Amino acid sequence: MGRRISRNYCHPERSEGSQGAFILIFKYFLREIIPQFFTALCVLSAVLVVSQLLRLSDALVMFGITFENVMLPFLFIILPFLSFTIPMAFLFAVLLTFSRMSVDGEFTALLAAGYSLRRAAMPVMLASILCYVAAALSGAFLEPWGRREMVDFYHRKAQTELDNMLKFRLQSGVFLDDFLGYVLYAEKIAPDRSRFDNVMLAPTGGKGDQPFTLMAPSGAVTGSVENGDLKMSFDYGVIFSTKYGTDQSTVVKFKRAEIDLLRIFQEQIFGSDEVVDDYRSYSPSALWAYVDQLRKEDRGNDPDYFKSRYLLHQRVAIPFATVIFALFAMVLGVQDPRKGKSMAYVGAIGTIIGGYVLMMGFKWLAENGKLPAPLAAWLPNVILLLFGCFLVYQKNRLPPSESTLDPEYIPGLQRLWRRLKH
């Protein structure tokens, strides 16, 4: 009777203290992970900005280096990529947190106090789910928004820049050598700047595989950037072209030739893929309607149908890597202090590369119609999630110094491995 009373008396205190310690450690993990996450996110965003400098250099040279011309394009680039940078930032945040705790002996103390890796995963999983929601919303809404705003921004700038070229910089009898990568010359220009006499157009610096010179007695500019139909036409002219490394030359006479100035401008700034794949700038509802329209038009074998349908699922599936990376980061972060941190970082980079290769493989299958888009988008996540859960299970039941992939400790392979060794 006395033992039973003592047990009933001590249990509430032990339970209350254990619950209080659990909440305290729970908050401690969050306080450690969150600052690391935002630091890693800023670093990855800075790397992303630097990687885009070359891509935007032509635009900066064309429009001038101003605060607006620099900050807005980078903002339109960084925000759409949050669906990719958030998972990677969370991976390094969890990795750094668990690595520091392992090196300082804090995690060993938690294990000695009965706080297992499985319990430590609770705050990590909570934070990873919140980050997944943020990344998924970024992929679904900010990615198409950034693409639309980028195009609109450069269209506004193009309207001003091309108007300035045609109305102010192009002068009668003067060569304009930076006209969208071409040299433009007009002997006479009409007062309204829409008609030209004795016009010459040629690429600058040997642009293209086969340089040419176009000459025509008259030319005109029609349309506008705002309406998306800005074109330059030439009447009754001739094109002289030569092939590199040979003396062969070609002469072509024409009645009318037309150049899409806006398309040339877009390809210089965005690249040909950005101009063609317009569906990538659609919002989730617009993209869904676009995919449904292609299906109703019996265009089920159209490459655009496969690509757009995969993109619809990809925007929500890829951010789920936040949860998967968290599992891998916990296992990589809990290391034997004698082994150092280098292997953990190598493992983190390998995780990112492996996940990317797996995703791109299934993407190729989906975009070529060899696998349904939902399956191709989510199957890599399922594979990596199962593997990550297995690693956490192994690390939770083994000492920190033991490898989770050692065949001697893998369930089902233990007996076979011991037989092979002996």
* Domain edges within the chain: 171-262
Q: How many CB atoms lie within 10 A of CB 261?
A: 23
> Looking at this protein, which amino acid is placed at residue 25?
I
Classify 199 in phi/psi space as left (phi over 0), alpha (psi -120 to 50) or beta: beta
Q: Yes or no: say if 357 and 417 are a contact pair by the CB < 8 Å rule.
A: no
Element (H, E) at 255: strand 249-260
Under DSSP, is residue 231 helix (H, G, I), strand (E, B) or coil?
A: strand
Helices (H) and strands (E) counted in the chain, each on its own, are 15, 6
* Partners of 252 in beta bridges: 239
pLDDT the model gives residue 14: 44
pLDDT at 226: 62
SS3 250: strand
Compute the distance between CA of residue 350 and CA of residue 329 in angstroms, rounded to an integer. Answer: 11
Looking at residue 405, its amino acid is L
Q: What is the pLDDT of residues 50-62, one digit of tens each?
A: 877 776 776 666 6
pLDDT reported for residue 46: 87
Number of neighbours of residue 46 by Cβ within 10 angstroms: 11
Q: What is the pLDDT of residue 74?
A: 81
Q: Which residues of the chain fall short of a pLDDT of 50?
A: 1-15, 207-208, 272-273, 275-276
